[in-house]
Chains A and B, each alone.
Chain A
């Protein structure tokens, strides 16, 4: 039995036409051999042999192709649920400006498809946290990694991050299209012009693509800034009050874009003062005060009606 199985396997491996199928065919051959061995053992022991509750078929077996197809399909094409990858991992992260600790022992994780809504009073360290994760500030202590790369990770980390900041990060003399195309080019996007147009279209500002940024209103500049941040499809989006200046149409477009990015596996870290906006997209929520997380919850455990009161109690405790 072993010789036949080995011979069959070798023959199939060497056969050019079956190279792709050699391994599954070998599996079937091995299983058949195993069945036959167990059947022989059962006979010798005087027992009735059954396979999957049924007596195995005698005589001519099912032709190989359908058996192979069903077995191959079951072993190869059955989708396995993807394990969510860790995008951000922070352990006792701290950042100081001289003697002042802007971040103090911050620990959290963020996986693909998750959104952490971060709330906190002014000066809590929210922007500092975003800038550390974006690679703009070096951590003073602790360990933090983005997309599996420990910070400061260099270009590899920065390629995976998209940042929407307080300021627009745009060049006023250039057009909206040129600003987004410049960002796409820096990130190595294959067709930066088309990618820029797609990003501007998603934010519903494509009709003003060729207008200089300085001629756009604050809300329109914010849309261009968001387009700039998402044009390279980053794995991690850092959003510092992204709804600032947006009208209802812009806010809806932004929410749709962020939801689509999250569903496609991007991780979001959203800083906002608007609890409703933050909780709408969040899978987790946290409150930062004086550089420390004072509360962290999963979205499912949050009562959206009661959360504002909780926030006021925790965030306003020092004021």
Chain B
């Protein structure tokens, strides 16, 4: 039942999904930067905001990447167990802050990195326990 062996091919697919997942969030953030003038405070400003965001090519690049990640992820999960795939895929919790620093000029304090590692550890624990549950169901 459990497919655990991470071959080089699966590892490359996982790394690709990590990078694409990070790209999704980068694209979405970029699309909202084009609407940075209009802050959403009421319905009318929300309409203006969405009009600007949905006319940004970054948003559509993001949506296209979401679809790609979905297909890639389905492929990965047909070959390997979720409890193995998720910890590797959680690498995006590190990649997103790095991309934020390099390409979006955001600042990240040491305390925030500590928080990121707690979240990462939590996600890995949750995904590892999926194995435990399926064994109990057998």
**A associates with B:** no
